[in-house]
């Protein structure tokens, strides 16, 4: 089982797309909880999150949001990331067989992956980050750390593109 954390700021449209793509994972029993950490949105982000059943916290309550997580794994995503059909089976397999952090593949990494590694920086949160909660706790002190987390952990790339 895993929980997902999304960090929002005026991201209503992207958030709605991301959350809609998560429904199959809830039905499949992989996803237990979605937490939205909000940076003072003035659009409909909070309404979207609440309507979709997410637990919503302001950035100032970041520690409280993490304290309530009871799953062993956490998936960090950016609003607008749309996980494709079948992602939950790949994530489940990884969580059952490994304790290492993982990320999804990006479309720009297809074709000539070695060329991308030569000329690009390590992917950030746009590739997501799936990791054991206990591995993330020490590096997540505030909401700003969500964006920095992928650079702090060596992750394997999962064979599914977001």
Task: Give tens-digit pLDDT for 110-154.
Answer: 655 555 555 555 667 899 999 999 999 999 999 999 999 999 999
Beta bridge partners of 5: 35, 76
Instruction: Identify the pLDDT of residue 106.
Output: 87
pLDDT at 56 over 60: yes
Task: Provide mean pLDDT across the span 30-51.
Answer: 98
Where do the domains of the chain lie, and which CATH numbers do they carry? 2-161 (3.90.550.10)
Q: Residue 151 CA to chain centroid, in angstroms? A: 14
Instruction: Name the more confident of 9 and 106.
Output: 9
Report how far residue 35's alpha carbon sits from residue 55's, in angstroms, rounded to the nearest whole number.
Answer: 5
Report how far residue 162's alpha carbon sits from residue 159's, in angstroms, rounded to the nearest whole number.
Answer: 10
Task: Give tens-digit pLDDT for 20-37.
Answer: 999 999 999 999 999 999
What the block records as the tokens of 141 is 């002190």
Instruction: Identify the pLDDT of residue 67.
Output: 93
Sequence-separated (6 or more) residues with CB below 8 Å from residue 3: 31, 32, 33, 34, 35, 69, 70, 71, 73, 74, 75, 133
Percent of the chain with pLDDT over 90: 85
What the block records as the tokens of 65 is 């949001």
Q: Is the pTM of this model over 0.75?
A: yes
Sequence-separated (6 or more) residues with CB below 8 Å from residue 15: 6, 8, 36, 45, 48, 49, 79, 80
Beta bridge partners of 73: 2, 132
pLDDT at 65 over 60: yes
């Amino acid at each position: 089982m895993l929980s997902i954390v999304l960090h929002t700021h005026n991201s209503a449209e992207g958030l709605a797309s991301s959350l809609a793509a998560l429904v199959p994972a809830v039905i499949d029993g992989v996803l237990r909880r979605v937490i939205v950490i909000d940076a003072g949105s003035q659009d409909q982000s909070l309404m979207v999150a609440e309507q979709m059943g997410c637990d919503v916290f302001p950035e100032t309550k970041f520690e409280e949001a993490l304290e309530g997580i009871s799953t062993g794994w956490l998936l960090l995503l950016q609003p607008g990331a749309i996980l494709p059909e079948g992602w939950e089976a790949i994530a489940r397999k990884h969580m059952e067989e490994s304790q290492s952090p993982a990320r999804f593949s990006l479309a720009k990494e297809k074709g000539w992956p070695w060329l991308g590694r030569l000329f690009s920086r390590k992917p950030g949160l746009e590739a997501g980050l799936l990791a054991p909660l206990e591995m993330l706790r020490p590096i997540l002190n505030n909401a700003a750390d969500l964006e920095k987390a992928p650079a702090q952990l060596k992750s394997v790339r999962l064979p599914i593109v977001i």
